[in-house]
Amino acid sequence: MPFSERDPDPPQERTQAQVRQGFLHRRRERMVAEIQRNRRGEYKVPTWVMGLALVVVVAGWLALILL
């Protein structure tokens, strides 16, 4: 059965503005959700911060041993 016979109202293509508006809406919703999680204390430390802390600790040990 062809597409036009199954669905009398085929979906319309979205315009560039509609796609961008949807993207911005989803991005805003993600930011609001993250802020709410952070306010509840459910925040996570970013990976780059953990990596930086590891480098500092290793460098400190090396400095302690070598000096």
Q: What is the dihedral of CA 60, 62, 64, 67, to 10 degrees?
A: -130
Per residue in 51-61, pLDDT (tens digit) is 999 999 999 99
Q: Is the pTM of this model over 0.75?
A: no
Per residue in 14-63, pLDDT (tens digit) is 888 888 888 899 999 999 998 898 888 887 888 899 999 999 999 999 99
